[in-house]
Amino acid sequence: MKKFDLSVYLVTDRHCLRGRDFYAAIEEALKAGVTLLQLREKDASFQELLEEGRKVQALCRKYQVPFLIDDQVEVARALDADGVHLGQEDEAIERARAVLDREKIIGISAHNVEEALEAQRKGADYLGVGALYPTGSKKNASVLAPGVFRQVVEAVRIPVVGIGGIHEAQYGQVLDQGAAGCAMISGILGADDITATVKRLKVQAAKHLQKR
């Protein structure tokens, strides 16, 4: 099992920065204690992702935080990123594993037990399951029916991260359902105080995860 910490998982989106500088906000979150970062910039071209990725990757390395790319396996390979996160409609996990070093982290989005078990069978290292709450970052995301998230957690052996509309107020509730952590966008980058928010999330994570 690869070693990585999913507890405070930051996903980027420059649209929720509230006027902040993109790289300054990311560095503030990393410095405060984010445990894993995914570069997710849906409107960026391949070249733009490479340029942004190099800068974000340098920040992640400065704070020793794993750096993942959303969807784009070739960008991940070009940057030698620590891994990728793939949706159900993205490149197959088999191709990602063939293109990337076997030690790279591959996360897969899942929306039900069947998708979760299939991703686990194909070698996913973790699952992102949701949307748990209404979210503005993915226009076509459907909120999971009550109980589905816990069913997925109980069905698989790999770590599960809650995704979709999660803010500080919901964070503990998701961990209580067995999540290894939460993937958050505006909940961190759109917070009034990024540093204070991440530090409070870290305290919550320690409290909830030590019970297991």
Q: Which of 77, 138, 199, 202 is flagged as catalytic?
A: 138
Question: At 141, is the secondary structure helix, strand, or coil?
Answer: coil
Residue 93 CB-density burial (10 A; 0-12 exposed, 13-18 middle, 19+ buried): buried
d(C-alpha 210, C-alpha 212), whole Å: 5
* Degrees, nearest 5: CA angle 103-107-83: 40
Nearest of 13, 56, 14, 20 to residue 194 by alpha carbon:
20
3 state SS of 54: helix
- Asked if 66 and 83 count as a contact pair (C-beta separation under 8 A), the reply is yes
Amino acid letter, 169: A
Sign of CA dihedral 202, 205, 207, 212: negative
Residue 16 per-residue DSSP state? G
Q: Is 40 designated active site?
A: yes
Is 202 known to be catalytic? no
Q: d(Cα 30, Cα 24) in Å, to the nearest integer?
A: 10
Residues belonging to the active site: 40, 109, 138
